[in-house]
Amino acid sequence: MTAPKVRFAPSPTGLLHVGNARIALANFLFARRHGGEFLLRLDDTDRERSRPEHAAAIAQDLLWLGLEWDGQFRQSDRMDRYAAAAERLKQAGRLYPCFESEEELRAKREMRIKRGRAPVYDRAMLKLTPEQRATAEAGGKRPYWRFLLSDSTVGWDDLVLGRRQVKLPSVSDPVLIRADGTPLYIFTSVVDDIETGITHLIRGEDHVTNTGVQIDLFAALGASAPAFAHLPLLTGAEGGKLSKRIDSLSLRSLRQDGMEPTALAAYLARLGSSDDLRPLPMAALVESFDLSHVSHSAARFDPSQLLALNRRVLHGLPFAAVADRLPAGATEAFWLAVRGNLDLLGEARGWWDVVAGTIVPPVIEGEQEFFRLALAVLPPEPWDNGVWKTWTEALRAATGRKGRALFHPLRLALTGEEQGPELRELLPLMGRTRAANRLAVAGN
């Protein structure tokens, strides 16, 4: 394969979510795997909804995930190129003005459906005379512009889905330019892809019909279409439609919760493929990425699988990799004690409160005498990792308890949690004064 050139083209109208991130990652891995280029294009022609802060957030989140681009541009800087391309289509008779309102178009669709016909645009405006157009514009109407599709079936060999085709006569002529002059995605994207030399378009399966239209548009502009790869869409863990909560799950929120980029990248890179879901560095993901491994079926996004991957990543991280993201004052000993019990890095805050802050233990009925004995035999400081064994052996001798009956009440009183890191590691970090105060509260 010659060096490919691909692009990721988000609209800066909101935060980057996991579905978009999966597409960005696939493009990045494909480019790096084959020694090509990865471009970032901001589709910001929607002036009302596009925001600079969203563009900045998208760039930050991509970099956090580990994706670096080789070039970047904004569609808002290329309006003259779209105008020039539109003029070429007009001169070729492939772009024609329309004046119907939304209400008129809706009525036409409903009428066609009632008559048992497909709700495809009837091309009535192709019969518009120059005089009729002049009259409409004189009355204050401004045209929007439709692309005249070919009367043919277009097909392509999809790098994921296999042979695909779209019957263009069954598709309405798409609007390429709104009445206010704003060019639409289906048009601007083709113009950009031609002029930037994009060789492969890797995107979601929901664009399959768009692909048929755009292949026709590429040809109308005198260019060959790139290769296409459509990734099946994500579903929920049970195989149903992805919930709105997960579908809109942003990288920003995952990052704030303590998700590790290594875990998220590994999960999204192999989601819906035949490759094992396991944490891998970006270089290994690049080396193993292959579009032929992607299933034709929808990919199931399972938060529990993602958390499991994140847990495995956290368990192997050294203190230096997380020190600046832990609570102020947190030590290496603390990190080594708790990392094996974290699903998300943000959970470390709760354990820091356990060893260095204040917690309110639950009321444990019938255990007051046990806690008073526990306090009585609590060893003096200095403490090390042997204090837990020394203390519990003394308490066992004093009470006759063993196993869960001995350890579980102590865990509840000292941490407020049913389970967690080893108390032999937490107790020295907690210190005698804090431990004694909690036992005194539990014993009252």
293-297 average pLDDT score: 92
In this predicted model, what pLDDT tens digit does every residue of 105-149 receive, in sequence order? 999 989 888 888 888 999 999 999 989 999 988 888 999 999 999
Sign of CA dihedral 152, 157, 158, 163: positive
What's the pLDDT score for residue 333? 96
Residue 356: alpha-carbon gap to chain centroid: 35
Q: Report helix, strand or coil for 5.
A: strand
Considering only CA atoms, which of 26, 50, 253, 213 is closest in space to residue 8?
Answer: 26
- Tell whether pTM > 0.85: yes
What's the pLDDT score for residue 380? 95
What's the pLDDT score for residue 238? 66
Q: What is the mean pLDDT of the chain?
A: 93
Residues linked to residue 40 through DSSP beta bridges, in sequence order: 8, 72
Whether pLDDT at 245 is above 80:
no
Greater model confidence, 189 or 299: 189
Whether pLDDT at 234 is above 60:
yes
Give per-residue burial for 230-257: e unless 16+ CB within 10 Å, then b.
bbbbbbbeeeeebeeebbebbbbebbee
Assess contact for 414 and 442: CB atoms under 8 A: no
Whether pLDDT at 423 is above 50:
yes
Q: Where are the beta strands (DSSP E) in 44-133?
A: 71-74, 95-98
Whether pLDDT at 244 is above 50:
no
67-77 average pLDDT score: 97
Tell the burial category of 428 from Cβ atoms under 10 Å away from its Cβ (0-12, 13-18, 19+).
buried
Residues with Cβ within 8 Å of residue 377, at least 6 apart in sequence: 391, 394, 395, 398
Of all residues in the chain, the percent with pLDDT exceeding 90 is 83
And the tokens for 154? 């277009």
Residues with Cβ within 8 Å of residue 156, at least 6 apart in sequence: 163, 164, 165, 211, 215, 225, 227, 228
pLDDT band at 442; cut points 50, 70, 90: confident
185-209 average pLDDT score: 97
> What ranges in 200-341 are assigned the alpha helix state H?
208-220, 244-247, 251-257, 261-270, 282-288, 303-315, 319-322, 332-338
> What does the alpha-carbon distance between residue 65 and residue 24 come to, in Å, rounded to a whole number?
10
Query: Which domains, from first to last, does the chain contain?
Result: 5-75+184-234 (3.40.50.620), 80-152+169-177 (3.90.800.10), 244-321 (1.10.1160.10), 325-444 (1.10.10.350)
Q: 10 Å Cβ neighbour count for 423?
A: 20
DSSP per residue over 137-154, as a string?
Answer: HHTT---EEEE---SSEE
Q: 10 Å Cβ neighbour count for 54?
A: 19
Assess contact for 443 and 368: CB atoms under 8 A: yes
In this predicted model, what pLDDT tens digit does every residue of 254-277 receive, in sequence order? 998 889 999 999 999 999 898 888
And the tokens for 233? 């869409």
Whether pLDDT at 101 is above 50:
yes
Whether pLDDT at 166 is above 80:
yes
Considering only CA atoms, which of 18, 62, 66 is closest in space to residue 262?
Answer: 66
And the tokens for 378? 């609590």
> What does the alpha-carbon distance between residue 415 and residue 426 come to, in Å, rounded to a whole number?
9
